[in-house]
C-alpha cells in the first residue's frame, strides 16, 4: 500500500459518493453530495503538489527542500469558499423549503405541506396575523 | 487644439442640451425648446466656422485614444460629406424644434420630447463626423435607441409602442449585422480609422471576405434606410409626433443608411456584386414605395411610402458606382431633405387644424388655408420633379445616368424601370396636392374647422420650401460648390465636371421626364378605378408577416426551453455529470493510455491505512444512510477529520488547521438547518434510478481516482514554487510561505475570495431576513418542534464552561493570527477560530443572551474587512509601488523584544474581519430564524390553548 494509492482511491470514493448523493431527490442529500465532491476537489488540488511527508513550506535557513506551497495556498482559500458555498446552498434550500413546503428537487409536482415535520399549513394561519 | 475643441463641442452640444432638458423636465415648454434651439443654433454656428476651410479642401480632425487595444479611438473629422449631413441634421433640427414648439400642446411631456430629440440629434451628428468606424457604430446604435424613444413618445398609444418596437427590432437587428460587417472591414483593411480604410479600397475589394462584409454592411444600411424588404418599419414609425417624422424622414435616421453607403463608396463600390445588389434593391424599393404611396389615404402614410421610394432612388444612384450618379445622389439628398421636411410639417399643420389626416375626408383646403397650401403644393411639385424646382434637376440627372448601366444585359431595362418609378412618383405627388388642397371639400366638418396656423408653425416649412424652389432656380449659385466638394469626398476623386441647370437641351432624360409627368397626370386622372383595382387585389401585409415571424420564433423558443430546461435539478445534474464523464473518457484516450507513471511511491503506515478505511466506511455510511440526517452529520465529520489528518501528514499544517475549524462551523450550520428541514423523509428513488445513478457515480469515481493516481505517480512539471520559496522571507518578510502567498504574492486573488465570501454572507442574510413574511413566514409560524429537547434549555455546566473558554479561545485566535506570517496560522484560520468561540456562546447561553452582549455588527465587519484589505493594497500607490505591493520592518519594544510588522499583516486583518463577519452572519442568522420560528410557534401554541 502506498500513500499515493490511498489518496487517489479516497478521492475516487468521495467523488462516487458525491455524484450519487447529488443525484438524489432532496435538497439535503444534494448538499451532502456537494460537500463530498468538495472534499474530493480540495484533496485533488492539494495532491497536485504531490505527496510530501515532513517538509512543510515554512522557510528555514537550514532547510533546502520543501513541498510546493502554491497548491496549499489555493486550497486554503478553497476550503473557506467551500464553506461559504455550502452555507449558501443550505440556506437556499431551506428558504425554498419554507417557501414551497417541499424539499424536492426532482421537478415532479408534490402536494405542498404533505410532508412530515411541516404538517401545519398556511390554512392554520387564519387566526395568527402577527407579522 | 482649437479645431479639436470645436469638433468636441460640436458633437457634445446636443448631448449636453439633452441632459440639461432632462434635468429641467419640470420647467416650461419654452425653456425646453429654447435650450434645444440654442444647442442646434450653436452647432450650426460652429459648423459655419468650419465650412470655409472644409470646402477649401481641408479636413479638420482630432483624435483621442479611447481603447487603443481594440483600435477604438475618439476620432472626429469633418469632410464635405460630413459637413453637408451635419448641416442638414442641425439646420432641419433647428426648424423641427421651432415647429415642434408650436405643434405640441402645453400639457405634453415636452421635456422628455426635446431631450430625446437632442439625444437623437447628437447620435446622428456623431455618425456623420465620426472618424473611426467603431465610434461610428456606437453612434449608430445610439440612433436606434433614441429613435425608439421618439417614435414611442406617445406611450399611451398602442400603435406608438408597436411602431417603436418594430423600428428598434429592424434597425437594431440591422445594426448587429453592421457591427459584424464593420469589424470585418476594419480587420481586412488593417485599421479602424476611417481615413485609412478609405484609402485601402483595393485591399478590401480583393479580400476573400469582401462578399461577407459587403452583405453585412448593406444589411445594416438597408434596414436603416427602409429598403425593400425591410421597409415596413418606416410607415409604422409615423405613430411618432409629426415633428419627429419630419426629422426622421428628411435629414436623419433613414438618411443614415444612405450616408454610410456614400461614406464607404470608395471602399465598397465598383464591383459587379455591389452594383448588382445595391442597384436592384434601390430600384425595387423606388418602384414599390411609389406604387404603394399612390394608394394610401393617411397623409403621413403617403409621405412615409414616398420616403421609401425616394430613398430607393438614392440607394440606386449610389449603386450605379458612377461618379456622375453619385453627384445626382448628393444633390437629391439636399432636395429630398428640403421638400420632405416641408411636406411632413404641412401634413402636421393640416392634422393640427382639421383634426384628421385622412385624405379621403379632406379637399379644397387651398381656400381655407392658402399659405399652407402654397407651401405644400410647391414642395410636392419638387417631389414630383416638376420644373422649375430642385427635384426636377436631380431627377433629370438620375434619368440621364440610367442608360449607362445595363441591367440583366439589357441596356433599355433600367431607363424603363426608372421612368416607371418616376411616373408613380409624379402620380402620388400630384394626388397629394390635388386631393388635399384643390377640388371640392369631401366632408364639411374638417373643412369648416380648417384655417392657416400662426406664423410660428408655417415659418419652418416655408423656409424649407423656399430652399426647394431656389435649388431649382439658382442651383449652381446655391449648391454648386457644396455638391462638387461632397461628390469629391464621396467618390474619393475630383468631382466630374457638372452644370446644374433646368435646361440642358432636348435629350433622352428630358424625354423620359416628360413621359413620367404625362404618366403621372394620367395616374391622377384615373386614380379612382385604379384604387378600386388595388383594393380588390389582396396583397401580403409586411407588418403581419413581421409579427407572424416573431410569434413563430417565440413559440419555438419556448418549446425548446421547456424541452431542455426542465425544472428538475436531478435531470440537469445527471446531464452535466454524464457529459463530464464522457469528456474525461475522451480525454483519457488521448493521453496515451499509460495509467501509472514512474514517480517513486511513498509506503503507507498502518495508521494511515486505518484512517483510509475510516474514510471509506464513513463515505459509504453517508451514502447508505443519507435519509437519517442527524447520523449522517457524524459520518460527514469523520470524513472531514480524516481529510484534516491527511493535510497534517503531507506537510500542510495551515490546511489542516483551516479544514478542522471549517469542519466545526459546517457541522454547526447543518445542524441548525436540519432543525427546520424534515428529519427522515420517505424514500423517493426507484430501484432502477438508483442503479443508473450508482453506475454513473462509480464510473465518475473510478475516472477521477484514476486521474489522481496518474497525477500522483508522475513527477510535477516546473513550478513557480521555487520563486515563492526563495522570496518569501526576503521579499514578503515571512517564513510561512503559504501565508505570504495569500497576503502578498497572490493577495489580489485573496481579495477576490474574501469579497465572494462576504457576498455569500450577505446573500444568506438577504435570503433569511425576508422569511418572516409571505408563505415562508406562514410556514415558520406553523412550525412545531419535532426534536426531543433537553428539559434544561441552557445547561449550567455548558454555560459556565463556554464562558471560561471564550477568552482562551480568543487568545488562541489572536496567537494564530499574529504568528501566521511565520508559522502556521493567519487571518483565515484565526477568523474561523474566533467565530467558533462566539458561536459556542450562542449554543450554550442562547441567542438572546449572546446577541444582547454582542458589540459588533456582522455587516460592518464584512464591509470594513474588504475596505481594509483594499486600502492596504491601494496604500502601496502612495509609495509609488504597484497595487498590493507589501513592505515590512523590524521594531523593538521593551519587554517584548524585537518583532516584525509587515503591511501584509494589515491585509490579513481585512481577511480576518471579512471571514469572521461572513461566518457569524450565516450562522447567527440561521440560529435566529430557528429561534424566531420556535418563539412564534410557542406563542401561537399558548394562544391556541
- Which residue is associated with the grid cell 417614435? B151
Query: Are A80 and B735 in contact (CB < 8 Å)?
Result: no
- Asked if B786 and A105 touch (Cβ cutoff 8 Å), the reply is no
Average pLDDT over residues B570-590: 86
CB atoms within 10 A of CB A116: 11
Average pLDDT over residues B567-581: 87
Q: What is the pLDDT of residues A15-25, one digit of tens each?
A: 999 999 999 88
Q: Using pLDDT thresholds of 50, 70 and 90, give the confidence band for residue B943.
A: very low
A31–B contact, CB cutoff 8 A: yes
Q: What is the pLDDT of residues A61-93, one digit of tens each?
A: 788 788 889 999 999 999 999 999 999 999 888
Pick from B872, B871, B864, B843: nearest CA to B918: B864
Average pLDDT over residues A115-120: 41
Cα A29 versus chain centre, distance: 10
C-alpha pair distances (Å), B744 with each of B491, B659, B685, B890: 60, 22, 49, 18
- Asked if B782 and B936 touch (Cβ cutoff 8 Å), the reply is no
Looking at residue B933, its pLDDT comes to 65
Q: Using pLDDT thresholds of 50, 70 and 90, give the confidence band for residue B934.
A: low
Pick from B228, B226, B288: nearest CA to B255: B226
Q: What is the pLDDT of residues B410-436, one digit of tens each?
A: 778 888 888 888 888 999 898 888 888
CB within 8 Å of B510: residues ≥ 6 apart: B396, B504
Pick from B291, B369, B300, B384: nearest CA to B335: B384
Q: What is the pLDDT of residues B704-725, one digit of tens each?
A: 999 999 999 988 888 888 888 8
Looking at residue A116, its pLDDT comes to 42
CB atoms within 10 A of CB B823: 18
Q: What is the pLDDT of residues B336-351, one digit of tens each?
A: 988 988 998 898 888 8
Average pLDDT over residues B889-913: 74
pLDDT at B916 over 90: yes
pTM equals 0.66
Mean pLDDT of all residues in chain A? 80
C-alpha pair distances (Å), B396 with each of B387, B411, B456: 10, 18, 35
* Cell numbers representing residue B685 in the block: 428513488
Most distant CA atoms of chain B, gap in Å? 118
Looking at residue B819, its pLDDT comes to 85
Q: B 693-732 residues with CB below 8 A of A?
A: 693-694, 696-698, 700-702, 704-706, 708-709, 711-713, 715-716, 719-721, 724-725, 728-729
Most distant CA atoms of chain A, gap in Å? 76
* Window from B67-76, B359-368, B576-585, B785-794 with minimum mean pLDDT: B785-794
Looking at residue B657, its pLDDT comes to 93
Looking at residue B259, its pLDDT comes to 93
Query: Are B697 and A19 in contact (CB < 8 Å)?
Result: yes
pLDDT at B484 over 70: yes
pLDDT at B191 over 50: yes
Pick from B334, B525, B524: nearest CA to B429: B524
* DSSP assignments along B542-586, one per residue: HHHHHHHHHHHHHHHHHHHHHHHS-S-HHHHHHHHHHHHHHHHHH
> For chains A and B, what is the number of CB pairs under 8 angstroms?
366
CA distance B587 to B573: 21
Q: Using pLDDT thresholds of 50, 70 and 90, give the confidence band for residue A128.
A: very low
Beta bridge partners of B302: none
Looking at residue A124, its pLDDT comes to 37
Average pLDDT over residues B489-515: 79
CA distance B64 to B72: 9
Q: Residues of B837-857 as b/e, b for ≥16 C-beta within 10 angstroms? A: bbbbbbbbbbbeebeeeeeee
Exposed / middle / buried, residue B156 (Cβ in 10 Å: 0-12, 13-18, 19+): exposed
pLDDT at A2 over 50: yes
- Which residue is associated with the grid cell 411618432? B240
Q: Which residues of chain A are within 8 Å of residue B746 when distances are taken between CB atoms?
A: 73
Average pLDDT over residues B353-360: 84
CB within 8 Å of B164: residues ≥ 6 apart: B147, B148, B149, B151, B152, B237, B239
* Window from B735-739, B882-886, B940-944 with minimum mean pLDDT: B940-944
Between B503 and B893, residue with greater pLDDT: B503
CA distance B198 to B491: 10
- Quick one: what percent of chain B has pLDDT higher than 70? 94
Q: Using pLDDT thresholds of 50, 70 and 90, give the confidence band for residue B940.
A: low
Average pLDDT over residues B275-291: 91
Looking at residue B496, its pLDDT comes to 76
Mutate to test the interface with A, among B662, B673, B745 (most CBs of A within 10 A): B673
Min Cα distance A110 → chain B (Å) is: 11
* Cell numbers representing residue B586 in the block: 475522451
Mean pLDDT of all residues in chain B? 86
Pick from B666, B671, B651, B662: nearest CA to B831: B662
CA distance B714 to B712: 5
Query: Does residue B104 sit in helix, strand or coil?
Result: coil
Q: How many CA atoms lie within 13 A of B191 on its CB side?
A: 14
* Window from A99-113, B238-252, B487-501, B549-563 with minimum mean pLDDT: A99-113
pLDDT at A41 over 90: yes
Cα B738 versus chain centre, distance: 42
Kindly provide the ipTM of the predicted complex, given to two decimals. Answer: 0.86
* DSSP assignments along B458-514, one per residue: HHHHHHHHHHHHHHHHSHHHHHHHHHHHHHHHHHTSPPPP----S---S-HHHHHHH
A65–B contact, CB cutoff 8 A: no
Query: Are A72 and B709 in contact (CB < 8 Å)?
Result: no
Q: Using pLDDT thresholds of 50, 70 and 90, give the confidence band for residue B399.
A: confident
Mutate to test the interface with B, among A51, A60, A76 (most CBs of B within 10 A): A76
pLDDT at A119 over 60: no
Pick from B493, B403, B412: nearest CA to B199: B493
Looking at residue A122, its pLDDT comes to 37
Amino acid at each position: 500500500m502506498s500513500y499515493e494509492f490511498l489518496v487517489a482511491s479516497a478521492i475516487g470514493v468521495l467523488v462516487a459518493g458525491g455524484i450519487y448523493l447529488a443525484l438524489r431527490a432532496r435538497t439535503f442529500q444534494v448538499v451532502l453530495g456537494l460537500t463530498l465532491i468538495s472534499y474530493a476537489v480540495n484533496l485533488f488540488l492539494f495532491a497536485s503538489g504531490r505527496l510530501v511527508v515532513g517538509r512543510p513550506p515554512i522557510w528555514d535557513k537550514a532547510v533546502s527542500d520543501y513541498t510546493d506551497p502554491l497548491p496549499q495556498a489555493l486550497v486554503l482559500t478553497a476550503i473557506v469558499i467551500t464553506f461559504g458555498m455550502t452555507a449558501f446552498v443550505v440556506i437556499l434550500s431551506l428558504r425554498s423549503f419554507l417557501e414551497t413546503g417541499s424539499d424536492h428537487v426532482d421537478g415532479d409536482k408534490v402536494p405542498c405541506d404533505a410532508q412530515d415535520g411541516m404538517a401545519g399549513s398556511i390554512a392554520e394561519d387564519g387566526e395568527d396575523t402577527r407579522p | 487644439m482649437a479645431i479639436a475643441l470645436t469638433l468636441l463641442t460640436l458633437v457634445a452640444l446636443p448631448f449636453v442640451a439633452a441632459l440639461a432638458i432632462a434635468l429641467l423636465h419640470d420647467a416650461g415648454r419654452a425653456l425646453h425648446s429654447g435650450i434645444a434651439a440654442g444647442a442646434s443654433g450653436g452647432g450650426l454656428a460652429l459648423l459655419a466656422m468650419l465650412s470655409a476651410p472644409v470646402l477649401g479642401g481641408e479636413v479638420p480632425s482630432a483624435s483621442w485614444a479611447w481603447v487603443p487595444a481594440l483600435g477604438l479611438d475618439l476620432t472626429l473629422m469633418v469632410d464635405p460629406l460630413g459637413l453637408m449631413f451635419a448641416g442638414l441634421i442641425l439646420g432641419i433640427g433647428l426648424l423641427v424644434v421651432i415647429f415642434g414648439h408650436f405643434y405640441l400642446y402645453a400639457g405634453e411631456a415636452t421635456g422628455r420630447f426635446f431631450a430625446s430629440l437632442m439625444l437623437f440629434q447628437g447620435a446622428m451628428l456623431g455618425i456623420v463626423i465620426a472618424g473611426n468606424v467603431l465610434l461610428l457604430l456606437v453612434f449608430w446604435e445610439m440612433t436606434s435607441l433614441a429613435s425608439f424613444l421618439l417614435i414611442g413618445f406617445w406611450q399611451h398609444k398602442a400603435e406608438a409602442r408597436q411602431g417603436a418596437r418594430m423600428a428598434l427590432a429592424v434597425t437594431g437587428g440591422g445594426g448587429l449585422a453592421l457591427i459584424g460587417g464593420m469589424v470585418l472591414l476594419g480587420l481586412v483593411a488593417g485599421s479602424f480609422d476611417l481615413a485609412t480604410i478609405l484609402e485601402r479600397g483595393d485591399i478590401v475589394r480583393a479580400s476573400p471576405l469582401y462578399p461577407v462584409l459587403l452583405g453585412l454592411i448593406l444589411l445594416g444600411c438597408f434596414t436603416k434606410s427602409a429598403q425593400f424588404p425591410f421597409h415596413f418599419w418606416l410607415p409604422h414609425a409615423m405613430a411618432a409626433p409629426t415633428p419627429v417624422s419630419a426629422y426622421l424622414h428628411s435629414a436623419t435616421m433613414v438618411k443614415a443608411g444612405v450616408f454610410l453607403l456614400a461614406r464607404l463608396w470608395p471602399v465598397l463600390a465598383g464591383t459587379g456584386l455591389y452594383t448588382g445588389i445595391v442597384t436592384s434593391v434601390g430600384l425595387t424599393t423606388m418602384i414599390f414605395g411609389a406604387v404603394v404611396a399612390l394608394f394610401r389615404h393617411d397623409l403621413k402614410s403617403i409621405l412615409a411610402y414616398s420616403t421609401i421610394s425616394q430613398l430607393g432612388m438614392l440607394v440606386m444612384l449610389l449603386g450605379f458606382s458612377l461618379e456622375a450618379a453619385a453627384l445626382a445622389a448628393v444633390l437629391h439628398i439636399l432636395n429630398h431633405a428640403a421638400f420632405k421636411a416641408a411636406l411632413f410639417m404641412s401634413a402636421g399643420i393640416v392634422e393640427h387644424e382639421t383634426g384628421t389626416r385622412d385624405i379621403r375626408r379632406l379637399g379644397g383646403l387651398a381656400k381655407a388655408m392658402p399659405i399652407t397650401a402654397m407651401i405644400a403644393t410647391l414642395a410636392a411639385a419638387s417631389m414630383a420633379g416638376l420644373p422649375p424646382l430642385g427635384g426636377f434637376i436631380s431627377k433629370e440627372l438620375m434619368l440621364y445616368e440610367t442608360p449607362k448601366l445595363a441591367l440583366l444585359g439589357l441596356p433599355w431595362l433600367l431607363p424603363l424601370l426608372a421612368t416607371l418609378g418616376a411616373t408613380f412618383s409624379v402620380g402620388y405627388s400630384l394626388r397629394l396636392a390635388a386631393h388635399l388642397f384643390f377640388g371640392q371639400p369631401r366632408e364639411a366638418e374638417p373643412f369648416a374647422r380648417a384655417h392657416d396656423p400662426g406664423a410660428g408653425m408655417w415659418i419652418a416649412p416655408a423656409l424649407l420650401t423656399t430652399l426647394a424652389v431656389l435649388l431649382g432656380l439658382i442651383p449652381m449659385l446655391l449648391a454648386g460648390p457644396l455638391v462638387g466638394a461632397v461628390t469629391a469626398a464621396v467618390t474619393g476623386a475630383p468631382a466630374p465636371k457638372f452644370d446644374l441647370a433646368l435646361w440642358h437641351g432636348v435629350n433622352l432624360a428630358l424625354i423620359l421626364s416628360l413621359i413620367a409627368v404625362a404618366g403621372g397626370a394620367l395616374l391622377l386622372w384615373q386614380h379612382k378605378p385604379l384604387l378600386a383595382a388595388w383594393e380588390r387585389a389582396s396583397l401580403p401585409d409586411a407588418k403581419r408577416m413581421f409579427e407572424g415571424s416573431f410569434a413563430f420564433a417565440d413559440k419555438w423558443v419556448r418549446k425548446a426551453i421547456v424541452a431542455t430546461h426542465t425544472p428538475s435539478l436531478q435531470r440537469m445534474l445527471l446531464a452535466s455529470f454524464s457529459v463530464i464523464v464522457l469528456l474525461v473518457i475522451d480525454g483519457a484516450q488521448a493521453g496515451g493510455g499509460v495509467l501509472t507513471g514512474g514517480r517513486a511511491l511513498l509506503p503507507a503506515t498502518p495508521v494511515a491505512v486505518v484512517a483510509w478505511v475510516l474514510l471509506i466506511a464513513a463515505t459509504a455510511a453517508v451514502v447508505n444512510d443519507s435519509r437519517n440526517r442527524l447520523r449522517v452529520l457524524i459520518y460527514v465529520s469523520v470524513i472531514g477529520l480524516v481529510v484534516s489528518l491527511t493535510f497534517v501528514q503531507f506537510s500542510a499544517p495551515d490546511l489542516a488547521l483551516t479544514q478542522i475549524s471549517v469542519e466545526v462551523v459546517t457541522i454547526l450550520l447543518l445542524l441548525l438547518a436540519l432543525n427546520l428541514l424534515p428529519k427522515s423523509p420517505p424514500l423517493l428513488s426507484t430501484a432502477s434510478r438508483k442503479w443508473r445513478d450508482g453506475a454513473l457515480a462509480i464510473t465518475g469515481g473510478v475516472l477521477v481516482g484514476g486521474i489522481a493516481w496518474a497525477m500522483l505517480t508522475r513527477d510535477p512539471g516546473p513550478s513557480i514554487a521555487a520563486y515563492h520559496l526563495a522570496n518569501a522571507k526576503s521579499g514578503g518578510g515571512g517564513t510561512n510561505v503559504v501565508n505570504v502567498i495569500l497576503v502578498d504574492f497572490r493577495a489580489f486573488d485573496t481579495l477576490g475570495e474574501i469579497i465572494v465570501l462576504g457576498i455569500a454572507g450577505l446573500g444568506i442574510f438577504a435570503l433569511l431576513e425576508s422569511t418572516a413574511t409571505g408563505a415562508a413566514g406562514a410556514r415558520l409560524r406553523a412550525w412545531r418542534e419535532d426534536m426531543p429537547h433537553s428539559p434544561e434549555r441552557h445547561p449550567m455546566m455548558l454555560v459556565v464552561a463556554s464562558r471560561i473558554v471564550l477568552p482562551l479561545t480568543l487568545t488562541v485566535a489572536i496567537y494564530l493570527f499574529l504568528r501566521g506570517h511565520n508559522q502556521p496560522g493567519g487571518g483565515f484560520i484565526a477568523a474561523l477560530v474566533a467565530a467558533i468561540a462566539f458561536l459556542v456562546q450562542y449554543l450554550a447561553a442562547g441567542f438572546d443572551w449572546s446577541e444582547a452582549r454582542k458589540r459588533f455588527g456582522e455587516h460592518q465587519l464584512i464591509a470594513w474587512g474588504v475596505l481594509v484589505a483594499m486600502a492596504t493594497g491601494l496604500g502601496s500607490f502612495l509609495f509609488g509601488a504597484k497595487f498590493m505591493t507589501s513592505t515590512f520592518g523590524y521594531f523593538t519594544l521593551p519587554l517584548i523584544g524585537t518583532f516584525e510588522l509587515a503591511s501584509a499583516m494589515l491585509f490579513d486583518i481585512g481577511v480576518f474581519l471579512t471571514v469572521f463577519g461572513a461566518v457569524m452572519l450565516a450562522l447567527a442568522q440561521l440560529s435566529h430564524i430557528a429561534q424566531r420560528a420556535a418563539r412564534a410557534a410557542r406563542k401561537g401554541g399558548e394562544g391556541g390553548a
